[in-house]
Amino acid sequence: MAYRSASDVDVASRALVMSGTKPINSFEDVEADVARLLYEDIAAAALTSTSWRFAMTQRELNRLSVKPVGRGVIAWQVPADCLQIRALTINSTPAAFERYENNLHTDAVDENSVAVLEYTRRVDTASWPPHFVIAVQHMLASEFSIAIGQNEQLSNLHAQKGQMLIRNARSIDAQGRTNSVMDTKRYLNHRRT
């Protein structure tokens, strides 16, 4: 059976059921006030909790014409869909930066520099893998259990299960890249000295 992709309302509705509340059909339902108010914050927190491979992207940055006033020589525009910066390279070399609002300031002085940002973005819920969906549902159910049901015991149960599922999801997500090979030469060289 193929995995049925989830929508924001599906995830919130399942979390409401897990917390002992009626499911919703939209964020406009009367019962959906708490879900609507908490959903995006919980989703963004879960997406930025680690470097999820499914939520990572790279984008070449636009150089801003305005020069930084203090730190940095060049200012770059942070993409609007950026939730959390993971790395910046300038001309394929890792670069130091300072973030000020939606700008990155760097010390790159070459006017032809190309800056590429690796960052976590808000991925459409339908693209979330199943193990992440279930973890987020438990995180939401934990919040809903307190906000709606005022059931601290149920909230703690969902919070613990959510954390366990996030750890499991991290392990699964980490398999979506090539394993890095450990450079043992420096250890061998150190032992020989």
Residue 128 located in a structural domain:
yes
Q: 113 with 155, same domain?
A: no
- Structural domain includes residue 133: yes
One domain, residues 167 and 137: yes
On whether both 62 and 106 belong to a single domain, the answer is yes
In a domain, 136, yes or no: yes
Same domain, 117 and 61: yes
In a domain, 182, yes or no: no
78 in the same domain as 38: no
Predicted local confidence at residue 1, as pLDDT = 44
pLDDT tens, residue order, the chain (193 aa): 455 668 899 999 888 888 888 888 888 876 688 888 889 999 999 999 989 999 999 999 999 888 888 777 888 999 999 999 999 999 999 999 999 999 999 987 777 889 999 999 999 999 999 999 999 999 999 998 888 888 899 889 989 999 999 888 888 888 766 666 666 777 667 666 6
The structural domain count of the chain equals: 2
Q: Compute how many other C-beta atoms are within 10 angstroms of the C-beta atom of residue 182.
A: 8
Q: 38: domain range?
A: 8-51+124-174
Q: Which long-range contacts (CB under 8 A, 24 or more apart) does 157-164 make?
A: 158/18, 158/19, 162/135, 162/136, 162/138
Q: Per the domain annotation, does 146 fall within a domain?
A: yes
What pLDDT does residue 71 have? 79
Two tokens, residue 44: 């963004």
pLDDT value of position 97: 93
What is the residue whose two structure tokens read 């869909």? 81
Q: Are residues 60 and 101 in the same domain?
A: yes
Do 19 and 114 lie in one domain? The reply is no
- Let me know whether 116 and 128 are in one domain: no
Specify whether 17 is located in the same domain as 60: no
For residue 111, being part of any structural domain is answered with: yes
In a domain, 186, yes or no: no
Q: What is the pTM of this model?
A: 0.77
Position 4 scores a pLDDT of 60
Across 51-114, where does the E strand assignment appear?
Answer: 56-60, 62-63, 74-77, 82-90, 93-94, 98-100, 103-106
User: For residue 78, which of 108, 119, 48, 45 has the smallest C-alpha distance?
Assistant: 119
**Are 71 and 165 part of one and the same domain?**
no
Residues 95 and 135 occupy one common structural domain? no
Please report whether residue 112 resides in a domain: yes
Specify the amino acid at residue 132: F
